[in-house]
Amino acid sequence: MPTLVLLRHGQSQWNLDNRFTGWVDVDITEAGRQEALKAGELMKAEGLRFDFAHTSVLKRAIRTLNTALEVMDQLWVPVEKTWRLNERHYGALQGLDKAETTAKHGEAQVKIWRRSYDVPPPAMDLKDPGHPANDLRYAKLDVKALPGTESLATTLDRVLPYWHDAIAPQLKAQQTVLVTAHGNSLRALYKYLTDVTEAQILEINIPTGIPLLFDLDDALKVKSFRYLGDPDAAKRAAEAVANQAKAGKH
């Protein structure tokens, strides 16, 4: 049957620093590397044999993917890197401390920016050096396609064409596919796959470094899904993500 695994990158330096990261190309920490190693061990123990893997063009996802595949002795698996799997663009919030932003703007407003379905944060100016239009890795893309901010809804709009064009055909061919990406690009896919409501997705948090396995039918409808390993550990990790803006830590 078609099998899909979603894996959020291991802890990044800005996860640790509790900053809005978005499209900033921040690397993983040593703790993040350990999470990636553990993810590989969990997938190996599950007996997964991947036919193809997809990731973003951000090093925290790429390094997590490579680390996990190395543990599985599957570095040979073909990998496609795409900007469409990048993290949600956090606009002018990128680089800011989450707890400090909460203290300044209030918990309710920051929760709207972080977790609302269709309300984006304030946009980043096109002339900002951090805008993707000024990044070489996106130089061949139409500048109009590059976001200065995104909501989860517009992140889903960005991710879905890649799902339909690249990932879904592989799954329909009965392949086993690994997608290693980011909290919000994966939340967007989660919403699409599970058909949860806009209200329900606000409370869904994807923990770092814990593989989420989907068993699909031939029409790619979800038959079942679960985190690999200890379910209580996955629940605690997801709760930690939800509490970032409050706690000032990850």
Summarize the annotated binding site as residue ranges. 8-15, 21-22, 60, 87-90, 98, 114-115, 183-184
Q: What is the DSSP string of 184-229?
A: HHHHHHHHHHHT--HHHHTT----TT--EEEEE-TT--EEEEEESS
Judge contact between 110 and 98, C-beta under 8 A.
yes
CA atoms within 13 A on the CB side of 42: 21
**E strands within 18-158?**
52-55, 79-81
Rounded-to-integer distance, Cα 21 and Cα 19, Å: 6
Query: Which residues define the annotated binding site for substrate?
Result: 8-15, 21-22, 60, 87-90, 98, 114-115, 183-184
Rounded-to-integer distance, Cα 72 and Cα 67, Å: 9
Catalytic residue ranges: 9, 87
Whole-angstrom CA distances from 176 to 15, 38, 166, 232 are: 29, 20, 13, 26
Q: What tokens does 30 get?
A: 């040593």
Rounded-to-integer distance, Cα 63 and Cα 56, Å: 10
Q: Closest Cα to residue 207, out of 32, 25, 30?
A: 32
- Greatest alpha-carbon pair distance for the chain in Å reads 50
